[in-house]
Structure 1
Amino acid sequence: MILALAMALDAWLGEPDWLWSRAPHPAVLMGRAVDRLDARWNRGARRRARGVAAVVVLVAGAWAAGWLIAVPPDAGLLELIAAAILLAQRSLIEHVRAVAEALRRSLPEGRAAVAMIVGRDTAAMDGPAVARAAIESAAENFSDGVVAPAFWFAIGGLPAMLVYKMVNTADSMIGYRTPRHEAFGWAAARLDDLLNWIPARLTAILILVAGGAWRHWSRVPNDARLHRSPNAGWPEAAIAPVLGVALAGPRSYEGRMQDFPWVNPTGDRAPRPRDVDRACVILWRAWALALALASLTALA
Structure 2
Amino acid sequence: MSTAFLLVCAMCLDAALGEPDWLWSRIRHPAVIIGNVIGWLDKRLNQGPQRRLKGAAVVLVLVVGALVLGYALTLLGPVVEVIICAILLAQKSLVSHVRDVGEGLRISLAEGRAKVAMIVSRDTRDMTEAQVARSAIESAAENLSDGVIAPAFWFLIAGLPGLLIYKAVNTADSMIGYRNEKYREFGWAAARLDDVLNLIPARLTGVMIVALSGQWARWSEMVADARRHISPNAGWPEAAMARALNVALAGPRSYDGRIRDLAWVNGEAPREIGASEVFRACDMLWKVWGLALGLVSVWVGASFIF
Q: Note whether the superposition's TM-score is higher than 0.5.
A: yes
CA contact (8 A) 1:243 1:279 kept: yes
SS at match of 1:225: helix
- In the other structure, the counterpart of 1:228 is 230
Following superposition, the deviation at residue 42 of structure 1 comes to: 1.0
SS at match of 2:186: coil
- In the other structure, the counterpart of 2:66 is 62
Moved more, 211-220 or 61-70: 211-220
SS at match of 1:163: helix
Following superposition, the deviation at residue 289 of structure 1 comes to: 0.4
CA contact (8 A) 1:103 1:110 kept: yes
Following superposition, the deviation at residue 134 of structure 1 comes to: 0.2
CA contact (8 A) 1:209 1:286 kept: no
Cα distance in 2, alignment partners of residues 33 and 295 from structure 1: 35
RMSD of aligned C-alpha atoms? 0.8
SS at match of 2:228: coil
- In the other structure, the counterpart of 1:76 is 78
Please tell me the residue identity of whatever aligns with 1:267.
A
What does 1:114-153 align with in structure 2 at a 5 Å threshold? Answer: 114-153=116-155
CA contact (8 A) 1:175 1:186 kept: yes
Cα distance in 2, alignment partners of residues 22 and 212 from structure 1: 44
Aligned pair partner of 2:96 in 84, 94, 97? 94
Aligned pair partner of 1:268 in 267, 270, 275? 270
- In the other structure, the counterpart of 1:45 is 49
Following superposition, the deviation at residue 177 of structure 1 comes to: 1.1
Runs of 5+ in structure 1 lacking a partner?
Answer: none
- In the other structure, the counterpart of 2:16 is 12
- In the other structure, the counterpart of 2:295 is 293
Q: Deviations over 1:108-165 (max 9, x none)?
A: 1100100000010001100000000000000000000000000001110010001000
Following superposition, the deviation at residue 65 of structure 1 comes to: 1.1
Following superposition, the deviation at residue 27 of structure 1 comes to: 0.5
Q: Deviations over 1:150-189 (max 9, x none)?
A: 0001110010001000000000000001111110000000
Cα distance in 2, alignment partners of residues 210 and 165 from structure 1: 27
Following superposition, the deviation at residue 58 of structure 1 comes to: 0.7
Q: Percent identity among equivalent residues?
A: 59
Q: TM-score, normalised by structure 1?
A: 0.98
Cα distance in 2, alignment partners of residues 187 and 158 from structure 1: 22
Following superposition, the deviation at residue 71 of structure 1 comes to: 2.8
- In the other structure, the counterpart of 1:203 is 205
Cα distance in 1, alignment partners of residues 260 and 81 from structure 2: 43
Confirm or deny that 1:243 pairs with 2:267: no
- In the other structure, the counterpart of 2:34 is 30
Runs of 5+ in structure 2 lacking a partner?
Answer: none
Q: Which runs of 4+ in 1 moved over 4 A?
A: none
Cα distance in 1, alignment partners of residues 205 and 153 from structure 2: 10
Q: TM-score, normalised by structure 2?
A: 0.96
CA contact (8 A) 1:208 1:242 kept: yes
Please tell me the residue identity of whatever aligns with 1:146.
V
- In the other structure, the counterpart of 1:213 is 215
Cα distance in 2, alignment partners of residues 184 and 54 from structure 1: 9
CA contact (8 A) 1:120 1:253 kept: yes
Cα distance in 2, alignment partners of residues 30 and 63 from structure 1: 13
Cα distance in 1, alignment partners of residues 219 and 298 from structure 2: 24
